[in-house]
């Protein structure tokens, strides 16, 4: 039996019901902290109306119970009040939840907890009524927001001016960053990637491996000189906020490739590819929900056992890297799955591997398609 640690991911999923707050929380009658939204899930809200701000999470039972009541309020008062629901969870978690549960408010992710911390949110659900000039009118639980309260709230806004900076959508390009690159002191150490509040750290990784991760391209699609595959580096990308990796991939790609003096050429070629799609992925989605409910640190491993490769706690792209290396085929991820899962896949041949993957509700389709191939070379 052989067990290999692939990559350690320290994603911040924050699956707990109490938040760590500031020493001072805003009170009724004071100005509201700015409502900073990392990304809007369904639609964006501008600072034009008074706001009903709701802090919630997909895993919070009382929050889920309050959704129908908030939807009713939205139907009655949406013309006079902006309804905003913020969760500190990742975008993919919120989107998956909303596939089966309608939320009529504008839903956003406060992935950085900037707004939750500014409000000193100690538990959820947590509701705030904010006048359009930014003054806090009321703080409490969603069930306590009645029609009479809403009517008084709306009436009190008739003569107020608009605070135009009350709601802010964060622009990734405006965020401050710091990038450090050093040759790894221990060239024999296994490579790892961590994504946490300290920033993104590529530790003891070759240039090719770093580019594979940022480009989201498998080894079969990257051509590079030998020195790009042998010399290892420590690359730390610190930024003003902790952001989900895909959200700023292109920006980071430019900055890191410049720092490593790497030229990237992209070409499109026609080739036979194996596309991984979801046929019935309910079991995999439940597997990820169960995992994320009990941990926020993921360690991916590959273990050979009984003729199969047991890929434990891996994302689909890591699974693809293994499949391409083992079977010398090009795979494309069209599953829409963004979490971490565990698979047992035959090592015998590509046909047996596909058959195993299909037992997880995946569909593997082979067809000719245009794919992006990358050539790495030193900048002159």
Q: What is the pLDDT of residues 96-110, one digit of tens each?
A: 899 999 999 999 998
pLDDT at 251: 84
Helices (H), the chain: 61-77, 91-98, 114-118, 147-155, 207-215, 226-230, 249-259, 282-292, 316-327, 350-358
Alpha carbon distance 217, 214 (integer Å): 8
Q: What is the pLDDT of residues 215-246, one digit of tens each?
A: 888 888 899 999 999 999 999 988 766 555 56
Mean pLDDT of 107-134: 92
Q: How confident is the model at residue 170 (pLDDT cuts 50, 70, 90)?
A: confident
Beta strands in the chain (DSSP E): 2-9, 35-37, 39-40, 51-55, 82-87, 106-109, 126-130, 136-140, 167-169, 177-183, 192-196, 199-206, 222-223, 232-239, 262-278, 298-305, 308-314, 330-333, 341-346, 362-378
pLDDT at 3: 40
pLDDT at 266: 94
More confident residue, 317 or 278: 278
Q: What is the pLDDT of residues 255-269, one digit of tens each?
A: 999 999 999 999 999
Q: What is the pLDDT of residues 185-214, one digit of tens each?
A: 999 888 887 766 677 888 899 999 999 888
Alpha carbon distance 102, 68 (integer Å): 9
Taking alpha carbons only, the member of 255, 237, 158, 142 closest to residue 199 is 237
pLDDT at 325: 84
Question: Are 58 and 87 within 8 A, CB to CB?
Answer: yes
Q: To the nearest whole number, what is the mean pLDDT of the chain?
A: 86
Query: Is the pTM for the entire model greater than 0.85?
Result: no
Q: What is the pLDDT of residues 10-30, one digit of tens each?
A: 222 222 233 344 447 899 999
pLDDT at 245: 54
Q: What is the pLDDT of residues 32-69, one digit of tens each?
A: 999 999 889 999 998 889 999 999 999 999 999 999 99
pLDDT at 196: 65
pLDDT at 136: 97
Q: What is the pLDDT of residues 245-300, one digit of tens each?
A: 566 778 889 999 999 999 999 999 999 999 999 999 888 988 888 887 776 666 77
Alpha carbon distance 52, 84 (integer Å): 6
pLDDT at 68: 97
């Amino acid at each position: 039996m052989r067990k290999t640690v692939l990559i350690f991911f320290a994603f911040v999923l924050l699956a707990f019901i109490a938040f760590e707050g500031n020493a001072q929380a805003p009170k009724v009658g004071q100005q509201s902290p700015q409502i900073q939204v990392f990304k809007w899930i369904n639609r964006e809200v501008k600072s034009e109306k008074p706001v009903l701000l709701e802090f919630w999470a997909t895993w919070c039972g009382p929050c889920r119970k309050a959704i129908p009541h908030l939807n009713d309020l939205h139907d009655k008062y949406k013309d006079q009040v902006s309804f905003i629901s913020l969760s500190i969870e990742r975008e993919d978690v919120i989107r998956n939840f909303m596939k089966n549960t309608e939320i009529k408010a504008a839903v956003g992710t406060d992935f950085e907890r900037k707004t939750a911390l500014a409000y000193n949110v100690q538990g959820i659900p947590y509701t705030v009524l904010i006048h359009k000039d930014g003054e806090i009118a009321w703080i409490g639980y969603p069930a306590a927001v009645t029609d009479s309260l809403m009517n008084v709230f709306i009436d009190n806004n008739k003569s107020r001016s608009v605070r135009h900076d009350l709601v802010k959508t964060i622009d990734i390009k405006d965020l401050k960053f710091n990038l450090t690159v050093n040759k790894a002191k221990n060239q024999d150490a296994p490579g790892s990637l961590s994504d946490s509040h300290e920033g993104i750290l590529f530790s003891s990784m070759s240039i090719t491996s770093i580019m594979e991760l940022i480009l989201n391209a498998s080894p079969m699609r990257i051509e590079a000189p030998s020195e790009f595959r042998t010399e290892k580096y420590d690359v730390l990308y610190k930024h003003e906020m902790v952001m989900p990796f895909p959200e700023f991939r292109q920006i980071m790609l430019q900055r890191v490739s410049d720092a490593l003096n790497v030229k990237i050429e992209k070409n499109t070629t026609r080739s036979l590819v194996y596309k991984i799609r979801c046929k019935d992925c309910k079991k995999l989605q439940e597997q990820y929900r169960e995992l994320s409910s009990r941990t926020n640190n993921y360690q991916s491993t590959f273990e050979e056992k009984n003729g199969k490769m047991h890929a434990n706690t891996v994302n689909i792209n890591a699974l693809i890297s293994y499949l391409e290396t083992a079977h010398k085929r090009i795979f494309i991820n069209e599953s829409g799955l963004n979490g971490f899962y565990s698979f047992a896949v035959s090592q015998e041949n590509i046909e047996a591997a596909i058959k195993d993957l299909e037992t997880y509700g995946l569909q593997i389709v082979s067809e000719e398609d245009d794919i992006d191939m990358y050539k790495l070379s030193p900048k002159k």
